[in-house]
Chain A
Amino acid sequence: MVLPHLDDAYGLARWLAGNQTDAEDVVQDACMRALASLETAIVERPRAWVLTIVRNTAFNWLAKNRPKAVVLTDDPQVLDAAAAHRDSAPDPEEALIAAADEVALESAIQALPHLFREVIVMRDINGMSYREIAAAIGAPQGTVMSRLARARARLVDKLGSRAA
């Protein structure tokens, strides 16, 4: 049940926890929990199910080990503030984004609050559908869509305003 989705599980943990060692701890812990609940659970969407457990484990782990790093804000004001300062002309911005290298992309994504980071990872890196993401994070599809939109707006701002 877990093995087919181990790469997805590890990928999410890696993005949430920030480094390989911690991510592996999280995944290992999550697998134990998965085992424990496999007896009683009826699993219809294995990938979403596995990622739900990884996600919860990762958030617990972060809360315990790095309480200050967890930013779960969904505060519109914070986000609007980020959106407000976009004022450069569109074309250079688009070119800048398209030219963003691995390092810039990675640090921009790592700078997102966890709730935004996970939807970007699930959608753009793991290629999951809205419905699958909604099942994994236990939120309605509308929430998935708005978080994705905000996360992308932040990334566009950040990457589009880099000094070329």
Chain B
Amino acid sequence: MTERHSGDLTLLLQAALDGELDAAGAMDVEGRLSADPALAAEYARLIALCDAIRTRLPRERASDALRARVIAMAQTPSQIKPTPPRRPWLLMERYRPLAASLVLGIALGAGAYGIFERPSADDDVQRTLVAGFIRGRLSGQTVDIATSDRHTVKPWFSGKIAEATTVVDLKTDGFPLAGGRVDVVGETPVATLIYQRREHQIALTEMPASSTAASSEPRRETRDGYSIFEWTEGGRVYAAVSDLPPGELDAFGAAFRRAAAAEREDTPKP
């Protein structure tokens, strides 16, 4: 007789199964599983189920015909009618002017997503950075080393991060340095600088670029209400996350890029 567990515990198991728990939560579940054979059996059944679905029911692919119809819908609105669907498209006339906007939509989408498919690693990185920012704000512990002196932060990082990091002083631009911390993106420890603006903070993370592009123009995105200002320079990706209004984050990004460029010129090349 398998006993049923309370609803909360069942939900906890689901979250563990789907990798939606933080480290503390995962440890808690592991503890419960080892202490409770019935729970462990339930967990094993759930794992068996998910594995079976994942391995035996692959993601469906839209047929080429459908794909072609959707593309055609966007590009040549007048061509849609000759392929009659099984029921009348009464609203077709209404949508016709809008179809032109999809051409634009696809063009914009392609630009923003890099030829139709956004690299999902990028998405994961952003998610990690925003999560890090939120966690820092919630705990009040946004920095591992609190200092406004960039000459203290930089050597502190050098003991922890393989590559040299760019640390600039933006006090005159109205963004005093508050300190630094080490974030982990994927499995790579990366340097994050914290700058202060009134009651707001900006977390600027520097990472090695994964793609081949050595540099790219800055772009700003919004994720869960936080602004992200991101650019690539010299094979390094810089991403600033903040709860500042987007305009001010743009100003910060511009100031940082200016100061970093000035510093690169000062530094004698080896």
Known contacts A3-B70, A6-B70; decide if A20 and B63 are in contact (CB<8 Å): yes
* Cα A98 to Cα B52 with chains together (Å): 6
B59 touches A11 (CB 8 A): yes
What is the bound-complex CA distance between A25 and B89, given in angstroms?
11
The reply to whether the CB of B264 lies closer than 8 angstroms to some CB of chain A is: no
B53 and A87: CB pair below 8 A?
no
* A70 lies within 8 A of chain B by Cβ: no
* Identity of the chain A residue whose Cβ is nearest the Cβ of B70 in the assembled complex: A31
Asked if A38 meets B51 with Cβ closer than 8 Å, knowing A3-B116, A25-B85, A31-B73, the reply is: no
Asked if B118 contacts A4 (CB within 8 A), the reply is: yes
In the complex the two chains form, is A155's CB within 8 Å of B49's CB? yes
Does the CB pair A35–B45 fall under 8 Å? no
Residues of B within 8 A of A126 (CB): 59
Chain B residue nearest to A99 (CB atoms) is B52
**A42 smallest CB distance to B (angstroms):** 9
What chain B residues lie within 8 Å of A28 (beta carbons)? 66, 69-70, 73, 85
- List chain B residues, Cβ under 8 A from A125: 53-54, 57-60
Pairs of residues from A and B, 10 with the lowest C-beta to C-beta distance, nearest first: A90-B41, A10-B62, A11-B60, A98-B48, A97-B48, A124-B53, A6-B62, A1-B109, A102-B56, A35-B102
Q: Given the complex of chains A and B, what is the CA–CA distance between A155 and B52 in angstroms?
A: 11
Q: What CA separation (Å) do A60 and B78 show in the bound complex? A: 26
Give bound CA distance, A15 to B65, whole Å. 19
How long is the Cα–Cα vector from A32 to B88 in the complex, in angstroms? 13
Known A-B contacts A38-B102, A90-B2; the reply to A10 vs B60 at CB < 8 A is: yes
Residues 1-44 (chain A) with a chain B CB within 8 angstroms? 1-4, 6-11, 14-15, 20-21, 24-25, 27-28, 31-32, 35-36, 38-39, 44
- Having A32-B91, A146-B11, one finds 4 other A-B pairs with CB under 8 Å, namely A7-B61, A27-B62, A86-B2, A89-B2
Question: What is the interface of chain A, defined by CB distance below 8 A to chain B?
Answer: 1-4, 6-11, 14-15, 20-21, 24-25, 27-28, 31-32, 35-36, 38-39, 44, 46, 83, 86-91, 93-95, 97-98, 100-102, 105-106, 109, 120, 123-126, 129-130, 142, 145-146, 148-149, 152-153, 155-156, 159-160
A90 to B7, CA, bound (A): 19
B interface SS class: helix
B106 at the interface (CB under 8 A from A): yes
A152 to B60, CA, bound (A): 20
Residues of B within 8 A of A (CB): 1-2, 4, 7, 10-11, 13-15, 18, 20, 38, 41-42, 44-46, 48-54, 56-63, 65-67, 69-71, 73-74, 85-87, 89, 91, 94-95, 98-99, 101-102, 105-106, 108-109, 113, 116-118, 222-223
Interface centre among A8, A95, A142, A148 (most CB of B within 10 A): A148
6 A-B pairs with CB atoms under 8 Å apart are A1-B105, A6-B66, A10-B62, A10-B66, A38-B98, A153-B10
Q: Are B98 and A39 in contact (CB under 8 A)?
A: yes
Contact B56–A101 (Cβ < 8 Å)? yes
Give A65 Cβ to nearest chain B Cβ, in Å. Answer: 10
A144 to B42, CA, bound (A): 20
Whether the Cβ atoms of B48 and A35 lie closer than 8 Å is: no
Q: Which of B4, B45, B53, B69 is A160 in contact with, Cβ under 8 Å?
A: B45
B109 to chain A: closest residue by CB: A1
Nearest residue, chain A, Cβ from B4: A83
Contacts of A39 in B (CB 8 A): 98, 101
**Cα distance, A145 to B38, chains bound together (Å):** 21
Q: In the complex, are the beta carbons of B48 and A94 less than 8 A apart?
A: yes
Kindly identify which residue among A14, A97, A102, A124 contacts B54, using a CB–CB cutoff of 8 Å. A124
Smallest CB gap from A160: residue in B: B45
How far does the alpha carbon of A152 sit from the alpha carbon of B57 in the complex, in Å?
Answer: 15
Given A24-B66, A35-B73, A102 and B14 contact (CB-CB distance below 8 Å): no
